Structure 1
Amino acid sequence: MIADFVKGKQIYSYDERIQQGIRLHRALDEFTDGHPATRQAKAVFQPDCGPYGPVFMDVVYDHFLANDPEHFSLPSLASFSASTYNILAAHQEQLPPDFQRFFAYMRSENWLYNYHKRDAIFQSFSGIVRRAKYFSKPATVPFGVFETHYETLALCYRQFFPDALDYMKSRYEGDLP
């Protein structure tokens, strides 16, 4: 969860298990970016969103995962979300300061659970647009792409996710949750 908030050598200030998690997250990001289905999905966003397409794609994949019946039901998604928030809260003092602020909103608005809803995707896109330095279009633009190309993006997710799971299982030295 914190990998995007840990820069460069900051990784070495964390214990080995957290370092392993950060490295796994970064490896998954690299795998995701290079996957043919992700490249196809990014191409859907590119005309309207330019270089911000991959940022929106991360949220889109979260949406499809939250709705994937092979991995979550609404009760199991709720349980997973609550468990994740509790684990993060128990280690709050170890979280990077920027993530601590981010986490406060994430938990209070129950982002992990709400990713299954389309209106929550719009809210997430709105937050991205608000924080983006070089994206001047309203959130309705990327959300319109999401809505217009929903089935294409869902297909990209279905092509990508089994490969991502296999990739992570091959890299992780332990039990995946």
Structure 2
Amino acid sequence: MNYLAHAYLSFNDQSLTVGNMIADYVKGKHWQEYAPGIQQGIQLHRAIDSFTDTHPVTLAARDYFQPSCGRYSAVFIDIVYDHFLATDTTIFTDQTLATFSQQTYATIARHHGILPPVFQQVFHYMRQHDWLYNYRLMDGIYKSFSGIVHRAKYLEAQTDAPFGVLEKHYEQLAAHYRTFFPELVAYVKTYPH
């Protein structure tokens, strides 16, 4: 899952939200340097990633991206899942997603001083370009895909390749999300924290 899902799956707990959002930027045992609630968010993020990455539905969804994106297919699926979450009318409307996004940015901003330096830079762009809300829009997904293609060291695909996969298999990928996401929510709700 990508940023929107990690924020959503913190269920409005501020410490969990911060930990969940910074987890990829906290290496080794440095997670132990944070307050207990943020530590729990970091651990929750890792549990969510593990559950997602090994789930049979996610593995099937990755197959669509595998030919053109290779090992980066997992990264593209994380963004695709965030798109379907952002457009999931059982969870968000246009207005509630906009509000949720701003509340999440405000929560992170209140903890700016403890954010890992690299995440501080990422957060600046995230908030400035409203990434969380823009997962709702195909243009936002295109920009996210472009960023990955631009930064990826071993990805030879052009931005149009993964975006083309999304467009071609949109309904199948949406069905994968609808099967997978409720199981992830149920898992997180039973996860100890």
Q: Pick the TM interval, shorter chain.
A: over 0.9
Gaps of 5+ in 1: none
Question: Which residue does the alignment assign to 2:184?
Answer: 164
Give the TM-score, by structure 2 length.
0.88
- Distance across 1 between alignment mates of 2:149 and 2:30: 27
After superposition, give the CA deviation of every residue in 1:103-142 in whole Å (9 maximum; x if it has no partner).
Answer: 1111000010011001110000000111111112211111
Give the TM-score, by structure 1 length.
0.96
After superposition, give the CA deviation of every residue in 1:67-114 in whole Å (9 maximum; x if it has no partner).
Answer: 001110111000100000001111111100110101111100001001
Matched, 1:42 2:65: no
Question: Which residue does the alignment assign to 2:102?
Answer: 82
- Distance across 2 between alignment mates of 1:6 and 1:144: 33
Matched, 1:148 2:145: no
Question: Which residue does the alignment assign to 2:4?
Answer: none
Q: How does 1:33-72 map to 2 (within 5 A)?
A: 33-72=53-92
Question: Which residue does the alignment assign to 2:148?
Answer: 128
- Distance across 1 between alignment mates of 2:24 and 2:77: 15
Sequence identity of aligned pairs in percent?
A: 55
Counterpart amino acid of 2:76?
F
Counterpart amino acid of 2:95?
P
Matched, 1:19 2:39: yes
Q: How many residues align?
A: 173
- Distance across 2 between alignment mates of 1:38 and 1:3: 21
How far residue 172 of structure 1 moved from its aligned partner, in angstroms, is 4.1
Q: Quote the RMSD (CA, aligned, Å).
A: 0.7
Matched, 1:111 2:126: no
Gaps of 5+ in 2: 1-20
Q: Larger deviation: 137-146 or 76-85?
A: 137-146
- Distance across 2 between alignment mates of 1:13 and 1:140: 41
Larger RCO (CA within 8 A; separation ≥ 6):
1
Matched, 1:101 2:101: no
- Distance across 1 between alignment mates of 2:192 and 2:73: 28
